[in-house]
Amino acid sequence: MSDIVNYRIEVHGRVQGVGYRYSALNMAKHLGVFGYVKNMGSGTVLLEIEGKHHAVDEMISWCRTGPGTGNVDELQIYEGKCKDFTDFKVKY
């Protein structure tokens, strides 16, 4: 069993236009988490993250509050299959 996990996270609230994506990028790089973050047309932010279980758990905890300039109302978290990401990107 691998200690690498993958999750897709939908972040709901006032999370666009507040620096959420770039703060997520910095946090992911700090924690050694790979994947991407993207604004969605629905007004949510989508992250797909993978890495060591403890690092991913820390990233999910960070996602619950974000950078502090916005307001996170809810996270929807879905476990996924690892895709062997090699970095973390902001997608457009």
Active site residues: 21, 39
**Whole-number Å distance between alpha carbons of 47 and 37:** 4
List CB contacts of 13: < 8 A, sequence separation 6 or more.
70, 71, 72, 73, 74
Closest among 2, 13, 90, 8 to 48, alpha carbons compared: 8
Q: How many helices (H) and strands (E) does the chain have?
A: 2, 5
